[in-house]
């Protein structure tokens, strides 16, 4: 499921003025002088998906169906630093295991209190593959606002400084590292280094940089010297007349033919128009409902519904991702909320957009994955002292694990 941040929600209206990030006080909520055991919650999740692949502009799709299931153990604790809280998760699933850790603080947001993710890091291990990732949000990323009154809405898009490293030992051993500076509007700059071995010599090593723009051409630069190619520069123009001009330049030999091609605009707006912004992530409180049957043991409980809708379009990678989630919050005592159930729907498409490392240049889809996922919470395990220690955490919320499985690169907007 998608990478957010689990959160516990206490209704401490009087705390709002004292929850600004970087507050000087080191006193723990409730006057606790030592760090108590963490508050923990377990979630069970399941996912179903359909995958379609196209090998050419007239090819019939190759279909595949699959799923995943597992559990997420989430622990919330007071950080040693003032007014910061530590959220840790262990994700155990059919497709491998993952650990995640995030730092949460608070800020005033108009008449609400924003629960803010400052940074997170993760490690994913599956068979012969290990992946680590780190994200830092210089201005913070709002993961929840409190109180969850009907009509409350907020924007979670934020600047993200990210990095990752992947090592795969077999089959097809390789190592890959990368970093990106992503803006809230979806523009970014990134760099990637990749190395693998074929026989006795590295033939497919490469280094690449990307710069995505909203109001001018986006640029991709690729170096594949190990394969005998000179550096390549590709520019992806804004669409005009329903087409995108892709220009490849450099001194031959190059990995693709130099020159300009025009590709039918694959952007999802009407007429293939360029979307601005390229990235959006919004939340809205919809009010109280009875929890539906797909939430299993939570069926019939009264909950506050919060909807998330997001999309992400990448002109260079040739990708479009659309995501929607429903979060159902139940009261946890008199002053907190637990995210008792999360239901997700996602669609991720890749297009033959002419990129040298892509799947072609015919302007249509090469890969489409659609799926649904549900995570359901067990009861909270904690002592009264532990709950008091994390009192400012407004919503105890899970970081759904689907995202880490969708792509070989961590979903938190890290670019390849």
Confidence at residue 269, expressed as pLDDT on a 0 to 100 scale: 84
* Domain range enclosing 199: 9-406
Q: Is residue 347 part of a domain?
A: yes
Q: Is residue 413 part of a domain?
A: no
Q: Is residue 246 part of a domain?
A: yes
Query: CA nearest 311: which of 413, 178, 189?
Result: 413
Q: What rounded mean pLDDT belongs to the chain?
A: 83
Query: CA nearest 407: which of 44, 124, 94?
Result: 124
Q: Is residue 414 part of a domain?
A: no
Distance between CA atoms of 215 and 134, rounded to whole angstroms?
Answer: 29
60 pLDDT higher than 70: yes
> What's the domain count of the chain?
1
pTM of the entire predicted model: 0.87
**Is 217 within 8 Å of 239 (Cβ atoms)?**
no
5 pLDDT higher than 50: no
Q: Is residue 2 part of a domain?
A: no
Query: CA nearest 135: which of 115, 164, 106?
Result: 164
Q: Is residue 370 part of a domain?
A: yes
179-183, 219-223, 319-323, 387-391: segment of lowest average pLDDT: 387-391
Q: 118-138 pLDDT, tens per residue?
A: 999 999 998 888 999 999 999
User: How many CA atoms are closer than 13 Å to the CA of 270, on its beta-carbon side?
Assistant: 0
- The strand pairing partners of 106, in sequence order, are 115
Q: 329-374 pLDDT, tens per residue?
A: 998 876 678 899 999 999 999 999 999 998 889 999 999 999 999 9
Q: Is residue 261 part of a domain?
A: yes
Q: Is residue 389 part of a domain?
A: yes
Give 99-105 contacts, CB < 8 A, sequence gap 24+.
99/123, 100/3, 100/399, 102/5, 102/399, 103/79, 104/5, 104/7, 104/143, 104/393, 105/19, 105/21, 105/22, 105/140
The whole-number average pLDDT for the span 144-160 is: 92
Confidence at residue 408, expressed as pLDDT on a 0 to 100 scale: 30
Burial bucket for residue 157 (CB in 10 Å: 0-12, 13-18, 19+): buried
Confidence at residue 93, expressed as pLDDT on a 0 to 100 scale: 86
Q: 245-290 pLDDT, tens per residue?
A: 999 999 999 999 999 999 999 998 888 999 999 999 999 999 999 9
Distance between CA atoms of 125 and 380, rounded to whole angstroms?
Answer: 27
């Amino acid at each position: 499921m998608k990478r957010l941040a689990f959160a516990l929600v206490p209704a401490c209206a009087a705390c709002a003025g004292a929850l600004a990030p970087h507050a000087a006080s080191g006193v723990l909520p409730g006057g606790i002088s030592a760090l108590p055991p963490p508050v923990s919650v377990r979630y069970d999740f399941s996912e179903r998906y359909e995958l379609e692949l196209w090998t050419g502009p007239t090819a019939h799709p190759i279909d595949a169906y699959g799923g995943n299931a597992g559990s997420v153990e989430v622990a919330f604790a007071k950080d040693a630093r003032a007014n910061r809280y530590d959220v840790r998760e262990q994700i155990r699933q059919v497709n491998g295991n993952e650990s995640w850790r995030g730092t949460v603080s608070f800020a005033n947001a108009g008449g609400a209190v924003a629960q803010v993710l400052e940074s997170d890091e993760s490690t994913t291990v599956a068979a012969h593959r290990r992946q680590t990732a780190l994200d830092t949000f210089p201005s913070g990323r709002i993961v929840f606002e409190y109180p969850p009154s009907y009509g409350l809405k907020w924007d979670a898009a934020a600047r993200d400084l990210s990095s990752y490293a992947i090592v795969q030992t077999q089959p097809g051993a390789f190592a890959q590292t990368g970093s990106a500076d992503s803006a809230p509007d979806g523009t970014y700059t990134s760099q990637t280094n990749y190395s693998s071995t074929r026989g006795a010599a590295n033939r497919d090593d490469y280094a690449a940089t990307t710069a995505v723009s909203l109001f001018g051409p986006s640029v991709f630069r690729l170096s594949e010297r190990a394969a005998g190619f000179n550096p390549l520069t590709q520019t992806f123009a804004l669409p005009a007349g329903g087409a995108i001009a892709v220009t490849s330049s450099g001194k031959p030999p190059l990995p693709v033919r130099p020159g300009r091609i025009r590709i039918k605009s694959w952007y999802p707006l009407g007429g293939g128009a360029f979307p601005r912004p390229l990235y959006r992530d919004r939340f809205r409180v919809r009010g109280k409902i009875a929890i539906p049957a797909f939430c299993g043991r939570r069926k019939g409980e009264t909950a506050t519904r919060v909807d998330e809708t997001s999309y992400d379009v990448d002109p260079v990678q040739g990708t479009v991702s659309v995501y929607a989630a429903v979060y159902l919050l139940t009261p946890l005592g008199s002053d907190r909320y637990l995210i008792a159930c999360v239901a997700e729907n996602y669609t991720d498409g890749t297009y033959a957009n002419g990129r040298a490392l892509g799947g072609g240049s015919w302007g249509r889809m090469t890969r489409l994955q659609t799926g649904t996922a549900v995570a359901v919470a067990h009861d909270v395990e904690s002592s009264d002292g532990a709950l008091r220690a994390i009192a400012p955490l407004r919503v105890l919320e899970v970081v759904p694990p689907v995202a880490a499985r969708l792509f070989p690169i961590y979903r938190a907007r890290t670019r390849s």
